[in-house]
Amino acid sequence: MFFLAELENTVRIPPELFHLDLREAIEQELNKVLANKVLNTSGLGIALHGITDIGESFIKPGDGSTYTKVKFRYIMFRPSVEEIITGKVKSVSREGIHVTLGFFDEIFIPPKYIPHPSRYSEDDQAWIWEYVTGDGEKHDLYIDSDDDIRFRVIEEKFLDMTPGLNGEVPEISDTENLKSSYSIKASINEQGLGILDWWSD
C-alpha cells in the first residue's frame, strides 16, 4: 500500500527561505509541492522520507531564487491490485459506496461488486445485502455511512497525467503539473469482505 519512491529533481528555493538551513528549506519545498498530490503514475505523495544527495546550487539570470539538484526518497500511497484494505464508508448512494482511508477518499465500490442479492434502500439511505443462511433463513445486512469496511482493490485509474515525464518528477516549482486524478475501484463481493461487523463473533 505504501512504498518509497526514489526521485530526483531541481528544487527552487525562494529568497524568503534563505534564512533556513539549505536541507531544511529543501525539505519544506518538497513537502509543499508533493504532499497530498498525485504524482504521474506513482500514486499519492504522503511525506518526505529523506534526502539522499544535495547537489550544487545555482541561480538563473533574472531570478533571485536558488536552484539545487536533489535526490530523495518520498513515501507514496499506491495499493496494488488485489490488495485487501480496511477503510470507512464515507457515503452511500444508489450509484454505489464511497470509501475513505482518512487521507484518501477516491475509493468506489459499484453495485456489481456488492454482495448479491443486494438492494439500495432510499428510506434507510443504505445498501442492504439479503444474506441467506444455510438453513434458508434471511437476514438484511446493512451498509451505512461510517461503517468500517474491508475491500479488495480491483482497478486503479490515473487521469490528466502530464505527458512526456517518463516517470520523472516535474520541475518542483510547477505545482499544477503534479495535480492529477487518481482513483480506486474496489469490491466486497466475496467471503470475509464487507462490513467488519458482519464477520465478527
Report pLDDT digits (tens) over 177-186: 444 368 999 9
% of the chain at pLDDT higher than 90:
68
Residue 164 is predicted with a pLDDT of 40
Please state which of the ranges 88-92, 160-164, 176-180, 197-201 shows the lowest mean pLDDT: 176-180
Average pLDDT over residues 40-46: 83
| pLDDT band at residue 160 under the 50/70/90 scheme | low
Residue 181 is predicted with a pLDDT of 66
For residue 51, the cross-strand partners are 72
Residue 61 is predicted with a pLDDT of 86
Q: Which residues contact 108 (CB under 8 A, 6 or more apart)?
A: 96, 97, 98, 99, 183, 184, 185, 186
CATH code, 2-78: 3.30.1490.120
| pLDDT band at residue 166 under the 50/70/90 scheme | very low
Report pLDDT digits (tens) over 45-65: 999 999 999 999 988 888 889
Domain ranges of the chain: 2-78, 84-158+183-199
Indicate if 84-158+183-199 has the same CATH topology as 2-78. Answer: no
Q: Give the separation between CA 143 and CA 150, rounded to whole angstroms.
A: 12
Selected from 2.40.50.140, 3.30.70.120, 3.90.320.10, 3.20.20.100, the CATH number assigned to the domain covering 84-158+183-199 reads 2.40.50.140
The answer to whether residue 173 scores a pLDDT higher than 70 is no
The answer to whether residue 165 scores a pLDDT higher than 70 is no
The answer to whether residue 176 scores a pLDDT higher than 60 is no
Q: For residue 3, how many other CB atoms are within 10 A of its CB? A: 14
